[in-house]
Amino acid sequence: MTRILISEVGPRDGLQSIDRVMPLAAKQAWIAAEAAAGVREIEVGSLVPAALLPQMADTEALIALARTIPGLTVTVLVPNRRGAERAIRAGTHKLSMPFSMSETHSLKNVRKDHAAVLAEIAAVAALVADQPAETRPYFEVGLATAFGCTIEGPVSEDAVERLAVATLEAGAAEVGLSDTTGYADPAAVRRLVRRVRRAVGDDRLNTLHLHNTRGLGLANVVAGLEEGITTFDASLGGLGGCPWAPGASGNIVTEDLAFMLAAMGCDTGIDLPALLAVRSIVADALPGEPLYGFTPDAGLPLGFAA
C-alpha cells in the first residue's frame, strides 16, 4: 500500500486569505482535532509581521501547542531569514519558504526579485545549518506560480527548472511545486514533475501544492501520484488561496483528498469520520464563511472501509 502524506495548510494558507481572524482557541482546537484524526503534518501559520497579516499574529502560540502533540510535524511558512529566526526559536520542525517563479508575483508577494530571493534562501539555509543537529528544522522551498501566474501569465518551464536547481544550490533541502493560481492540468503536472526531477533528483521533489480553482485539483493529484509524488498540501473545507494572486482561490479540500486517496488504496493514516468531524470546529469559529467539499456533503459511501 502506497504511503501518502497529506499536509494540512488551512491554518496558514486558508486563514491568511480571509478577512476575519479566527480566535486562537479555535485554531488550537482545529489543529489538535486534525492531529487526533491522523493528520501527520500541519502548517500552523506564517511568521510575517502582524501588521501585514493579522490573521497570523498568534503563530508562535500555535507552534507551542502543536509541538506538544506526539507524532505531528509542525510546519511554518517563513518569507525570509528574520521569519526563520523566529520559527527556530519557537521550535518548529519544518520551514517552508515561498519562491515565486513569476518575478512579477515575487515582487508583489515579498517585494524581492529572483536574485534577492535566492540570496534570502541562502541566508536561511546558512542559519538552519548552524543549528544543532538534534533540533535543526527541515528547510523546503515551495516554487510558487510554477504553472502560471494571474499577473504575468504563462511561466516558462525552462525558468522553473533553472530556478529549482538554483534553489537547491543555495542550500534548501528540497523543492515543491505550487500551483498557486490554479493554472495546472494533469499533463502539465506530469511534464513539470518529470522535468524538475530530472534536473534535481527524485528525492529532492516530493511535494505538490495544488489549487482547485478550475476544478482540476484532484485530477492533478492523480497525475502527481503517477509520477511518484508522495506529499500533497490541502486545506480543510478548501479554505484559502493567495491574497497576492487575484482570482486564485481554491485550495484542494482535505476531506475530498483524504477520501480519494483511501478509495484508491493509499495509506494516509487518517480516520475519515474523525476528519469530517473537524469541519464543525472551523464552521463554528467562522460562521458564514464558505466551506467546500463533496465528501462532507455526501458522506462516506455505505460500507466504505478505508
Rounded alpha-carbon distances, angstroms, from residue 294 to 65, 111, 297: 31, 37, 5
The CA distance from 242 to 220, in Å, is 19
Give yes or no for a contact between 189 and 208, defined as CB atoms under 8 angstroms apart. Answer: yes
Rounded alpha-carbon distances, angstroms, from residue 261 to 3, 56, 165, 230: 10, 30, 30, 11
Strands 5-8 and 73-77, sheet pairing: unpaired
Rounded alpha-carbon distances, angstroms, from residue 306 to 138, 259, 263, 293, 302: 31, 8, 7, 18, 12
Burial zone of 302 (CB within 10 Å; 0-12 exposed, 13-18 middle, 19+ buried):
exposed
The SS3 of residue 184 is coil
What's phi and psi for 150, nearest 5 deg?
Answer: -70, -15
Residues 6+ apart with CB under 8 A from 282: 10, 22, 26, 30, 236, 237, 239, 289, 291
Catalytic (active site) residue 149:
no
User: Which one from 47, 78, 242, 258 is the annotated catalytic residue?
Assistant: 242
Residue linked to cell 509542525: 74
- Looking at the annotation, which residues are catalytic? 242
